[in-house]
Structure 1
Amino acid sequence: MQSSYISNMEEWKKGFSFSVPVQVRFSETDMFGHMNNTVPITYFEYARIEFLKHLGFMGKWMHGDSEAIPVVADIQCDYVKQVYFEEQLNIYVKIESIGNSSLDIHYLAMNKKEEMCFTGRGTIVQMNRVTGKSIRWNESQLERVEA
């Protein structure tokens, strides 16, 4: 299965260098023991935040006096393989493209056997917390994401 946002699977996979480990908890499974379909979105959030911290973005956004905040504009998940209780995954995250005030972020979940379990993508927008209007990336931010 290949999603519309992936033109060449092998090239796409090579673009990931940042990941976080997760283990499927009992509370994240259904009565059949496999991961509930809503859980990948939570894993994407965790990986995205860790990635943005790694880039140095979260510190500024988390200050109460910062006018800028990140907002998820859309999110998508494509399920490839069933995942079960206690399975260990690596959730990979990368920036696929940069807009004036947005980032298109892609995700890849791999199990310990290096099998793809699910993929995803989503857009975050840097917005003004008071006006709700988008805020362009500044030079410092662009340097961090382009590195």
Structure 2
Amino acid sequence: MVGEMPVRVYYEDTDHGGGVYYANYLRFFERGRTELLRSLGFEQDALAGKQGVLFVVCRVEVDYLRPAVFNDLLRVITEVAELGRARVVFEQAVYRQDEHRPLCQGRVTVACVEGESFQPARIPEGIRQALGYGH
């Protein structure tokens, strides 16, 4: 399962040197994962409210390769790399709109937890199926 989302770099996204501040790439990754789930029909607030589960980041590995700068139009690519019973590993990358070399790439591991206890929980079957994994 692969998702793609556009992002415009605003002045607030940049650091003193004019490049995108490193932590903002994590925000772009977060939006990419949220939009991938949304495109499959899953809103995270509804999952918390109706199914009682949350997705929380538990590991991040990021390589910053080249800077994005103010006013760049970017593409955030989000792909499911692994799916376990209670976790999903996403491979994500940020590209300038018309380029094929990534500016930033990473692996983000997300755990499914119970909303009240934060204990590990099985990923709901509907999400597993939507991500392309059956029983």
TM class, shorter-chain normalised? 0.7 to 0.9
User: Are 1:136 and 2:116 matched, yes or no?
Assistant: no
- For 1:125, which of 85, 90, 111 is the aligned residue? 111
User: Are 1:103 and 2:72 matched, yes or no?
Assistant: no
- d(CA) in 2 for partners of 1:135 and 1:48? 19
- d(CA) in 1 for partners of 2:84 and 2:47? 18
- d(CA) in 2 for partners of 1:61 and 1:138? 9
- For 1:46, which of 16, 21, 31 is the aligned residue? 31
Q: How many residues align?
A: 131
Unaligned runs of 5+ residues in structure 2 are none
- d(CA) in 1 for partners of 2:113 and 2:42? 13
- Taking only the aligned residue pairs, the percentage that are identical comes to 21
**CA RMSD across the alignment:** 1.7
TM-score (norm 2): 0.87
- d(CA) in 2 for partners of 1:69 and 1:17? 21
- d(CA) in 2 for partners of 1:86 and 1:138? 39
- For 2:51, which of 54, 62, 66 is the aligned residue? 66
Unaligned runs of 5+ residues in structure 1 are 1-15
TM-score (norm 1): 0.81
Aligned-partner SS, 1:46: helix
